[in-house]
Amino acid sequence: MIQILEQALILSILSLGVYITFKIIDTPDLTVDGSYVLGGSVAVSLMYIGIPWGLSIFIGSFAGGLSGILTGIIHAKTKINPLLASILVMTMLYSINIRIMDGPNLPIPKIQKESSVSLSGTKLDEMFEMNNTTISLGKENKSFTKNFLETNTFIKLLIFSMSSYFLLFLFLKTELGLSLRAFGSNKYGIISFGIKPEFLSILGLFLGNFFAGLSGSLFSMYAGFSDVNMGQGMLVTGLATVILGEIILGKKEYFYKLPAPFFGAIIYSIIITMVIKYGYKIGFKSSDLKLTTVLFIIGVILSRRLEVTKWLNLKKLQLSTTTIR
Neighbours of 47 (CB within 10 A): 23
Q: pLDDT tens digits, residue range 177-228?
A: 888 888 887 777 777 777 788 889 999 999 999 999 999 999 998 888 889 9
Task: Look at 291 and 143; give whichever has higher pLDDT.
Answer: 291
- Looking at residues 62-74, what average pLDDT do you find? 94
Confidence at residue 144, expressed as pLDDT on a 0 to 100 scale: 44
User: 116-146 burial, b if ≥16 CB within 10 A, otherwise e?
Assistant: eeeeeeeeebeeeeeeeeeeeeeeeeeeeeb
Residue 284, pLDDT above cutoff 80:
no
Confidence at residue 291, expressed as pLDDT on a 0 to 100 scale: 78
Comparing CA positions, the residue from 147, 151, 169, 159 lying closest to residue 53 is 147
E strand or H helix that includes residue 163: helix 153-172
Residue 277, pLDDT above cutoff 70:
yes
Confidence at residue 112, expressed as pLDDT on a 0 to 100 scale: 54
d(CA 295, CA 25): 25
pTM: 0.81
Minimum mean pLDDT range among 114-118, 175-179, 261-265: 114-118
Task: Report the amino acid identity of residue 5.
Answer: L
